[in-house]
Amino acid sequence: MKNLLKKFANKDRNTLSRLITLVENHDPASLKILTQLHKDTGQTHIIGITGPPGAGKSSLINQLIKHIVDHKMTVAVLATDPSSPYTGGSILGDRIRMQEQASHENVYVRSLSTRGSRGGLSRATFDALKILDAFGFDFVILETVGVGQTEVDVMHFADTVILVLVPESGDDIQTMKAGIMEIADIFVINKSDRPGADTMKRNLLELKSPYKELFIYLTQALQGKGIESLWTEILKRKKSQKIDTENESLQRREELSQIILSELEKKLHQEKTNPFRSVYKDVQKGALNPYEGAVRILKKMEKN
């Protein structure tokens, strides 16, 4: 582990990739490694980019990468892909879509599958972000699989959350209002040359909260139009990034909860070392119902 951490401190990209693979595979050593790296986190500006499939998130990210590289800064892109709930398999096609930028020395692109995560983001995503932060990238761009209540997770990870929509989303905006205003710091209406872009903007303005300033940008990512204004806003946010003590406290509590729940879940799914193996077997046989089993497990945990 010491050798890995030494190579990591020397900015070795192969070691960076190896550490991310360790957390993706839930390697037992990853928790110790992340404990050592945590002191070096907190300097990177994390941009969360979410939105419905087909909104052009990857095209938008390509344009942002170009601006970051042009400003002599470094960026890592962590793209989460939907995975099969049965096999855990995933297409992981983002490195193909971003191949032009991925070859640049200031750019690092990595895809992770959601691996059956109950939320929009998996524990592996959370840990990978920490590793990229500790590595020292100026920006980390987190692209999520879609939009919905599960995507509220992104708020716990990103300094700036961008919600990418298209003009055709205008009629659906009312159904998204339950959490949409709380999720996003910036709204991007991409493919704005299509009919309905102005309607989309008006619908967003109608949802404006009196407690939060609304930032809306119209873009055509494939043509690079409207990206300069969006980039200027992101750069301003990075330069003026301040620690919100209350938010920082809540984020740390959320991180602790995620780590504990994830580690406990791993133990519960380990057949040979599961401390509650007998309870699981009784529930499977029908000797106990799931609620009785849960009560027994919780009582055993309290004793320990």
Each residue's pLDDT tens digit, 27-60: 888 889 999 999 999 889 999 998 888 888 989 9
Pick the residue with more confidence: 105 or 205?
Answer: 105
Joined tokens for residue 174: 């009312």
The tens digit of pLDDT for each residue in 234-287 reads: 999 998 875 555 566 777 787 788 788 878 877 777 766 777 888 988 998 999
Residue burial 268-282, b: 16+ Cβ < 10 Å; e: rest: eeeeeeeebeebbee
161 vs 184: CA distance, rounded Å: 5
CA distances from residue 212 to 14, 32, 75, 127, 159 in whole angstroms, order as listed:
42, 39, 28, 30, 15
Which pLDDT score, from 0 to 100, does residue 111 have? 84
Cα separation, 281 vs 275, in Å, equals: 12
Contacts of 103 (CB under 8 A, 6+ apart): none
Task: In whole angstroms, give the CA distance from residue 24 to residue 124.
Answer: 5
What is residue 73's predicted lDDT score, i.e. its pLDDT? Answer: 96
Work out the pLDDT band at 88, boundaries 50, 70, 90: very low
Question: Residue type for 212, please?
Answer: K
Spatial distance between the Cα atoms of 90 and 97, rounded to a whole number of angstroms: 15
Question: Model-level pTM?
Answer: 0.82
pLDDT score at 244: 54
> Which residues are within 8 A (CB) of 78 and not within 5 positions of it... i.e. 6 or more apart?
110, 111, 112, 125, 128, 129, 132, 140, 141, 142, 143
Q: What is the mean pLDDT of residues 185-193?
A: 94
Owner of token pair 């903007």: 201
| Closest of 171, 161, 155, 230 to residue 204, by C-alpha | 171
60 by DSSP, 3-state: which?
helix
